[in-house]
Amino acid sequence: MTYNPKFGEAIKILKSDAEYTYYGATPTNQEEFDQVHWVIGEKDGNAIMTTTCPHAELSWTAVKTEMDKL
């Protein structure tokens, strides 16, 4: 498993308030990016999550482009 801090930095640059988590290695392609769990709400103190990114500005292409700049 590989951790790449550029992934989190890229997301922070593109959408500073995006909340997410992923399991395993840092996403390196579209398929892995599609497995990121995005927080879309909260109920009874628990996060409501989805693997469908709710932020238009956070596509894999945009995140990867930003990672490459770092």
Instruction: List, for residues 19-52, the tens digit of each pLDDT value.
Output: 999 988 899 999 999 999 999 999 999 999 999 9
Torsion angles phi and psi, residue 40, rounded to 5: -120, 0
Q: What do you get for the CA distance between the two ends of the chain, in Å?
A: 21
* Number of domains comprising the chain: 1
Token pair 């879309």 is found at 40
Domain of 25, in residue numbers: 5-69
- Nearest CA among 41, 24, 42, 43 for reference residue 33: 24
Would you state the pLDDT for residue 24? 87
Q: What is the pTM of this model?
A: 0.88
pLDDT band at 2 (very low <50, low <70, confident <90, very high): confident
Query: Residue 1 above 80 pLDDT?
Result: no
